[in-house]
């Protein structure tokens, strides 16, 4: 693990400072098991998708529960499109203010949908409780 941390530190120092590379550098500096796992997952995302930004996945959901005030939530009707040519298998939210025939009428809201986030607040929660060895600060 020591060599991997050294490589991650060197790579983080040489890379442009995106939010993802900052998170990888913080994870490498911590050395805790949770931080090392987070680092490996973030590095995998960066490599696989050839990008400088990565998703924090399920940890984002946990951070959102812990920091609910960082979310903008709307009640919307949500369904999964099963027969669409371009949207098969995708989650579809009805964002229309109104509908006109021949369109189907709007259905009542059935889910709370996050439509915006305070990225800085969620990044801080993720950094503190995942990258900092479980929130020791």
Answering whether pTM is above 0.85, one says no
* Cβ atoms 68, 117 nearer than 8 A: no
pLDDT of residue 86: 80
Residue ranges of the chain whose pLDDT lies below 70:
1-32, 34-35, 56, 59-60, 130-137
Angstrom distance (rounded) from CA 111 to CA 122: 22
């Amino acid at each position: 693990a020591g060599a991997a941390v050294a490589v991650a530190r060197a790579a983080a120092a040489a890379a442009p400072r995106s939010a993802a590379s900052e998170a990888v550098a913080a994870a490498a500096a911590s050395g805790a098991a949770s931080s090392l796992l987070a680092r490996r997952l973030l590095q995998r995302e960066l490599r696989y998708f050839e990008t400088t930004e990565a998703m924090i996945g399920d940890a984002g959901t946990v951070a959102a529960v812990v920091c609910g005030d960082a979310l903008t939530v709307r009640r919307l009707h949500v369904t999964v499109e099963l027969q669409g040519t371009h949207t098969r298998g995708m989650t579809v939210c009805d964002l229309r203010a109104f509908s006109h025939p021949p369109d189907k009428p709007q259905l009542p809201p059935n889910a709370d949908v996050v439509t915006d986030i305070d990225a800085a607040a969620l990044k801080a929660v993720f950094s503190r409780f995942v990258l900092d060895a479980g929130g020791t600060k």
